[in-house]
Structure 1
Amino acid sequence: MSRTTFCFVRCGNVASGSPAAAADTTPCLFTSVTHCRPPRSHISTWYSLYFNTKMPRHKGRIISAKRLHTLQAKAAALKRAREARQAEETEEELEQAEWEIPETPKAAVRRKLSPGSVEENAAPKKAKSTETEDNTNCAGGRRIVEYKVLGKGLWCCYCKECMSLDNIEDEKLFGLGSILNVRCHKCCTINVVPTGKRHADSLNRETLFDVNAKFALGVINSGSLYAPLRALFAAMNMPIMSYQTYKKYERSVGKKVEEVAKVSCEEAAKEERELTIQNKAALEQILPEHLSADFIIPTTVTTFEKVVRIMVSFDMGWSRRAAGRNYDSLNGYGCMVGNFTGKVIDYDTDNRMCMMCEAGHTPDTHDCRLNYFGSAKGMEAHVAKKLVIDSNILKSQNLEVGVLVTDEDCSSVAACRAAASHEIVKQSDKNHASKGVKKVLYGMEKKHGEINAEAIKWLHTCFTYALSQNKGNSAAMAIALRAIPLHTFNDHTLCGNWCGYKRDPENYDHRTVPGGFTNEQLREDLIDVFNKLADNANKFSAAASSNSNESINSMMARKCPKNTCLSMSESADFRYAAVVGKKNLGEVYTQKTMELTTLSPGIPFNTSYVKSTDRATTSRRSLYNTRDFKKKRIIKAKHRANIKYRKEVAEGTTYESNCNLLVLDGVEVIPLGEDDISENWLVGGEAEGVVVLFDLETGGLKADSDILQIGARCGKKIFDTFIRPTKSIPKETTKVNGLTSNSGDLFRHGKQVKAIPLQAAITSFIDFLVSFGKVVYLCAHNAFAFDGPRILAAITRSGQLQRFQSTVKGLVDSLPILKKNRPGKSNALGIVAQDLNISLKDAHDAVADITMLHLILQELKLSASFLISESILVTTLINRMELKRHLENVLTKGMLDKFAKGGLTVESIQDTFNASGVTGVTTLVKSVTKHQASIDKLCDWCQKQNAGHSTTASVTNNTVLPFTASTSTATEPVNEFLHVAWTSNEPEERQSSPDLFKEYLPPDFETSQQLPFGDF
């Protein structure tokens, strides 16, 4: 081997004497021979001559043999994998082709057919699916591209020929952007083609795709998360950036969002300062009277400009749902909202944990947001102090917080006052205050049955009206608050012009609570609550609201879902900054963020979205403040609640905690129902009469409660009517029978029913009984203790007792009858029906209950003759009722029963005592009983009544009697059903003087006591 060849092989240089000897001479790397340094093209030529082959190149560069072998091995491996994948896809295409319909070839047109076209009469071929997602090339699936950028890049940089995307040889994904290596079909040059615009990174290199930054901004703005978006992109067969790449872009864009939010807060602070100065007089009018004239703008001299004290509202939110003691959120966020601008003045967040720090990284290696080490409950006071006292934005604008509007849930004001050098006035949020009042009133509902849901809503409305109508006048507000409980008890001494009694004293009555409240204990409790509210009227004088803060918390809950933890990194802070930017600037904050990131603003689609969204927000805000919308919203909510209640009652228990825990599974049996009623089961013989089942639904268990429904049934004949209420219906009653009242109208399960006055209902009921043409025996479940006294009282009040007695002979109580047939078991109507497999549909409806009772009597084979034998005469019942009212505390129940069955009445005892004294009464009573102790008690009672009422006159047959059972002054409460005109065997004078019936009342009779007949 010659020296020239040797030098060429070892160092790549050519010895002297070669054709390139004229070039620069350089000593050999391995010998002292001096030779020239030829051009690289000559080296390649001589290499090919010597080795009989070309020098290996890769991407235009000469490479070593070792590098060549490595690349060849990789290429062989890729080829084998590609061939295997192609074989699998070929099998799948063959399987799919069997189900595909071949396309009919179109006729060839005059112009030259394009490649791949078929002739007009060519045989049809099987078509391949054009929607196949998987592609063997590197550019399979879908991409997000920018038309202009991609179109500009598809011109060959060497020959200026337009390239095709079919010639993509390689693709590098950079998140949602791509760089394509496209080979020119003319010159075979590989061109680098980006799919979108790029912007500079931290080293000022144009390497970051705009679409990735906008994707991160869109995720923050929409409140989405990476995981669901990854699933969305996978379903669309689109590549998505890795989570690490997403976090990189999120941190880059999120900091710009924070900058936009802070700038907007500074602008809002400037605007709030100007508006506060302009509206200084108006602001002073709604503040407490004790504040000095220079409170808003102090007269102290400063080096900058005058300090202005603004009015702001503050509220806190947490990134985790909690209630009661379960407050353990890792993140909290709060902001101050200006009173006049409604914009965020400043905001701050508290974070209790950092994921990077937990993993062992030091804070200087990442953007650590850990800044709080207390409990979640203490965050609100901590953030309030930082914003009110240490806010850099307030200091830069020479502002101070003078009035702070907050709720009553925490000690924020105390923390701010402790750190402030000036007075901070506390104003309660009227919405939180009204909710607190409503909560207290609902607590009273458990203690006092007289107050119900409708009454609570009425009191709550009165409270809110008192705040709104006396805004800025705490003294007038205190008087209005003290007048509310008195107004409900018909004491109108403190009422203002808002009271209807002041305008029409004779005809005024409460619409929600007819007649007003009467419970004295309830009166004391209501007065105590509203007096405390009146004592704190200074807190409500501004009638301020923190609705803006609540709106911000709601926006944050949408952008940062509470079911996902984002508070262990910067994500939660970025999203709260986005909320602040949207609150202050609107949706345009996204475009301002893009400008700071050197991105395009997004014309035309993003700009159009921003304009339409801001326009919709403005119109929606103006609509929500209109009176008509608020009224319609209340009506709609009430209607929806009525439907919900009606459906739940009709469906029964469908969902409840552990409702099926202790229930045994078994075979379902179809219960007895309406079709199983026997028409003639309750009809007796000609001499016996007919048994009519009846039931009452009332407005409560008290004796003076309204009768709201009367239902009666005998076989297939049914009577059903609703009665117009005159009093409010307690909530406990509504839960049982579903009846409610509103402005005199009656509703059943939220649906209004046709109701008539009591007089008309009683007339229709008696007409129904007369229609049978026989003697009637009324039967009810628990008739002697509940239904019987009330129906007789209503009939007496309507003046139709004589007509009733001419048709109805006796009363039957099914409860003691069932006790005899079912000893040792519960005999409540619903339980008996359930034991006998009888349908319980629409229980506590009068007609439904008597239908159940009819089926029970029919199932137990209790005939009409048997029920009639168990009846008690109506005259005996009325007599028993009168005796019990007067002699309940004198004689035993058994003795009163003997008196009633023996025909003794209070009136006969009175007449006998007035005529014959004690001797006559003793002789009269011995016809019934010889129990001397009872006779002596009755004689003593007669003497006491005579001595206590010797001056009271009673008109009977135009004679003044020296003795009556009892008297009552005009001021004593008397049950209204006792003010009746008796028409059965009564003198004319007694019929025309309903007040004389007071003599039948015991001295200690109360309107709330029960009216049972007693036990028979």
Structure 2
Amino acid sequence: MNEKGLVVAVDAGWQKRGSGKTYDSLSGHCSMVGPLSGKVLSYSVRSKNCRVCSVAETTNKNPAAHECSKNWEGSSKAMEADMVIEMVEDLQKSEGITIDGIIGDEDTTTIARLKTNVNANIKKLSDKNHLKKLFTNSLFTLKKEHSSLTLSVIKYIQKCFSYSIAQGKGNALQIQEDLSSIPYHIFGDHEHCSARWCKFIDNPNLRYKSLPHGKPLKDRFLQDDLKEVFSSYASHSDRLSCLGSTQSNESFNRMVSAKAPKTHHYSSSSSLRYRVAACVAQKNEGHRYLIKVNKKLGLSPGYYTRRQCILRDLQRKRQKAISMTQKFKRRRRELKAKRIQSLSTKETREGVSYLTGCDLHHASDIDEIPAPKTIPKYDHLPSSQLLNAEEIYFDLETTGLARDSHIVQLSAVRNDEVFNKYIIPKKPMTSKATEITGIQVVNNKMYHNHEEVETVSIKDALIQFMDFMKMSGPDVVLVGHNSKVFDLPVLFNILSKLNILETFSSAVTGFIDTIPLFKMSHPNLSSYSQLHLFAEILQDKYSAHDSLQDVIALKRLVDHTGPSHEVKVAASFTLNSAVAVFHHKNTTKHLMSTLGPLLDQKVISNGMGNKIAGSGLSLSHLQLAYQRNGREGVQDVLSEIADNSVRVTKSKKNH
């Protein structure tokens, strides 16, 4: 190699993970990679232990002649600087290569030691990924003191920082100016901004897409701290204008962790050196290095070894080509954002489950916020089942139009058989209901059109109705007009209170609502009320709002129009799905009642309240989310993704 003045990337790895407070690995390795070629130019290994020497010392004997693996007496932290100095000096002596620049992270004093011991003119280039990580850590440190510095705000500031660095590559003055203006930009002051990137200069009325409510931040104490952070980075703009990357070194470290996992101890023998050397060969030559090693040792590689090596290299080449595309990078960022969002949401819902000392300080915080509920939908009856089912027409008259109204008349028709029962309700009828139906209750007696009628209890009426249906066999389909919206919710509500909903389910297979049926068979009518349909189709009238007359009229309508089997299937729905919808609506109604304080103070609209309650959340769940993670906790819960849809809303102005 005759190249002079190389810029290389260096990074070290250790065979034991640091705890953040203690770094005491017995061994470490370091690689020097050419950033253009991606090849390892040199490597070094340090070890503080030798098994042979340790055994001899324990037995008070002199060690036998051996290749000692111990070559380091200092601390684990000092290994990296020493290995880099060794590699730079070796390249200069053995190959005549001068290193003019080192790309590395900000975690060591390597560059200072190189300037002192090797070359005073050597330059330091920062690793862009490590630099962004340091910047992000400084923001999260500020987050502890400023509640307005939420995760979404941090992401926006990160984006501004990264954009300034990328656009100012090679221009230190531009980077300095752009970084200095960011603490003003996010607070609505655009005098320091450049028209190159700030759209607010030409259009001051724009909204901030990534800031809360689309408005600039207002916390001036936060602004002062951000100015200090950005000022420190702007002062090193010359270094930020020529960033490098140690990604190839990180890739090499992953290879070493696979061949020398941190759960095993290899540094007391030459095994670690051989494993690191194998990783260097794999990094530079690919998996084909195994073929060359076999040949060098006089071992002809077998067919399967050769095939596997070639296959692995082809797979790696293909993966690398795919990973360089914009589509792949964009998809990777999207998946990462989804994982982070999902993790944050689950941790908010679950509460503290694993944390140092949490059993002492958070033991009582074990209440879980429920996962998103799947909103049930009406399922159509299977065509074959509907074909063989017995159709029974039914209708109710009630004390009012509310879904918790009581039934006062229950009627049904099967062929020529009629079922009709009057029931004295336990709540008074509304005046409007009495006027429409002609039914009134006086002194515990019921009158229909001023004539007294015989009554039964609601439970007896329903049991007799079920007996009437069971006479038709196992497959019964109830046909009603607007039954999905009104009759069934009223009926299910009473069955549920009497604890006989399950018994009722054994007598019925499903339902047909004739409103969607007539909309399909007779489109574009001005009204689909039963009275209007009867007059329009049969050119006749009948005594409406008497449930017996209603079901007789409905049967006449359906028999006359003769809707196709396909139309009936499309207008049908199963009993199980109808019951599921009923229970979901009841639960939503209960949860909605807990949101009263938010609705009364107009914090949320009725529509938003229905969405929140429909997803299974109550006011106490929202309060718990806020208690655990502030506004971000509420936002995480409301915007959780389930079954490819948002739980409540993505809009941040609603959080």
For normalisation by structure 2, the TM-score amounts to 0.57
Maintained 8 Å contact 1:310/1:400: yes
- For 1:458-484, what per-residue CA distance to the aligned partner results, in whole angstroms no more than 9, with x for missing partners? 211222222222211111111121122
Equivalence for 1:438: 136
Maintained 8 Å contact 1:449/1:732: no
Equivalence for 1:747: 639
**Alignment of structure 1 residues 381-460 onto 2, 5 Å:** 381-388=81-88, 390-391=89-90, 393-460=91-158
Task: Tell me the amino acid that sits aligned with residue 609 of structure 1.
Answer: Q
Maintained 8 Å contact 2:9/2:32: yes
CA distance in 2, matches of 1:628, 1:664: 45
Question: 1:500 is paired with a residue of what secondary structure?
Answer: coil
**Alignment of structure 1 residues 153-302 onto 2, 5 Å:** 270=1
- For 1:517-553, what per-residue CA distance to the aligned partner results, in whole angstroms no more than 9, with x for missing partners? 1111111111111011010112222121111111111
Equivalence for 2:32: 336
Larger Rg belongs to:
1
> How far did residue 416 of structure 1 move?
0.7
Task: Tell me the amino acid that sits aligned with residue 44 of structure 2.
Answer: D
Change (3 A) 1:310 1:385: same
Task: Tell me the amino acid that sits aligned with residue 595 of structure 1.
Answer: K
> How far did residue 736 of structure 1 move?
5.0
Equivalence for 1:313: 9
Question: 1:478 is paired with a residue of what secondary structure?
Answer: helix
Equivalence for 2:215: 515
> How far did residue 733 of structure 1 move?
6.7
Question: 2:211 is paired with a residue of what secondary structure?
Answer: coil
> How far did residue 372 of structure 1 move?
0.7
2:340 aligns with one of 637, 641, 659: 641
Change (3 A) 1:362 1:599: farther
CA distance in 2, matches of 1:572, 1:511: 49
Change (3 A) 1:330 1:612: same
Stretch deviating more after TM superposition (490-499 or 402-411): 490-499
Maintained 8 Å contact 1:334/1:349: yes
Maintained 8 Å contact 1:696/1:710: no
2:225 aligns with one of 507, 511, 525: 525
> How far did residue 598 of structure 1 move?
1.1
**Alignment of structure 1 residues 505-654 onto 2, 5 Å:** 505-513=204-212, 514-602=214-302, 604-651=303-350
Maintained 8 Å contact 1:710/1:720: no
> How far did residue 493 of structure 1 move?
2.6
Maintained 8 Å contact 1:693/1:712: no
CA distance in 2, matches of 1:357, 1:758: 64
Maintained 8 Å contact 1:403/1:424: yes
Task: Tell me the amino acid that sits aligned with residue 317 of structure 1.
Answer: G
CA distance in 2, matches of 1:510, 1:332: 46
> How far did residue 608 of structure 1 move?
1.3
CA distance in 2, matches of 1:402, 1:418: 14
> How far did residue 657 of structure 1 move?
5.5
CA distance in 2, matches of 1:596, 1:654: 55
Equivalence for 2:442: none
Equivalence for 1:707: 603
CA distance in 2, matches of 1:740, 1:384: 49
Change (3 A) 1:656 1:519: closer
Change (3 A) 1:552 1:748: closer
Question: 1:447 is paired with a residue of what secondary structure?
Answer: coil
**Alignment of structure 1 residues 465-484 onto 2, 5 Å:** 465-484=163-182
Equivalence for 2:55: 359
Maintained 8 Å contact 1:313/1:546: yes
Task: Tell me the amino acid that sits aligned with residue 136 of structure 2.
Answer: K
> How far did residue 663 of structure 1 move?
11
Change (3 A) 1:574 1:721: closer
CA distance in 2, matches of 1:630, 1:640: 15
**Residue 370 (structure 1) aligned with residue 74 (structure 2):** no
- For 1:894-946, what per-residue CA distance to the aligned partner results, in whole angstroms no more than 9, with x for missing partners? xxxxxxxxxxxxxxxxxxxxxxxxxxxxxxxxxxxxxxxxxxxxxxxxxxxxx
Change (3 A) 1:363 1:413: farther
CA distance in 2, matches of 1:664, 1:316: 40
> How far did residue 741 of structure 1 move?
5.5
Change (3 A) 1:536 1:709: farther
Task: Tell me the amino acid that sits aligned with residue 629 of structure 2.
Answer: K
- For 1:8-27, what per-residue CA distance to the aligned partner results, in whole angstroms no more than 9, with x for missing partners? xxxxxxxxxxxxxxxxxxxx
**Alignment of structure 1 residues 924-935 onto 2, 5 Å:** none
Task: Tell me the amino acid that sits aligned with residue 616 of structure 1.
Answer: Q
More RCO (CA 8 Å, sep 6+): 2
Task: Tell me the amino acid that sits aligned with residue 644 of structure 1.
Answer: L
CA distance in 2, matches of 1:352, 1:399: 30
Question: 1:435 is paired with a residue of what secondary structure?
Answer: helix
Task: Tell me the amino acid that sits aligned with residue 735 of structure 1.
Answer: N
Count residues with an aligned counterpart.
Answer: 415
> How far did residue 649 of structure 1 move?
4.3
Question: 2:9 is paired with a residue of what secondary structure?
Answer: strand
Maintained 8 Å contact 2:252/2:279: yes
Question: 2:268 is paired with a residue of what secondary structure?
Answer: coil
For normalisation by structure 1, the TM-score amounts to 0.38
> How far did residue 651 of structure 1 move?
4.6
Change (3 A) 1:712 1:458: closer
Change (3 A) 1:615 1:661: same
CA distance in 1, matches of 2:652, 2:155: 28
Maintained 8 Å contact 1:335/1:346: yes
- For 1:168-190, what per-residue CA distance to the aligned partner results, in whole angstroms no more than 9, with x for missing partners? xxxxxxxxxxxxxxxxxxxxxxx
Question: 1:403 is paired with a residue of what secondary structure?
Answer: strand
**Residue 380 (structure 1) aligned with residue 380 (structure 2):** no
Equivalence for 1:735: 629
Percent of pairs with identical residues:
29
Task: Tell me the amino acid that sits aligned with residue 321 of structure 1.
Answer: R
Task: Tell me the amino acid that sits aligned with residue 332 of structure 1.
Answer: G
- For 1:5-62, what per-residue CA distance to the aligned partner results, in whole angstroms no more than 9, with x for missing partners? xxxxxxxxxxxxxxxxxxxxxxxxxxxxxxxxxxxxxxxxxxxxxxxxxxxxxxxxxx
Question: 1:359 is paired with a residue of what secondary structure?
Answer: helix
> How far did residue 707 of structure 1 move?
2.9
Question: 1:346 is paired with a residue of what secondary structure?
Answer: strand
Maintained 8 Å contact 1:510/1:516: no
Task: Tell me the amino acid that sits aligned with residue 310 of structure 1.
Answer: L
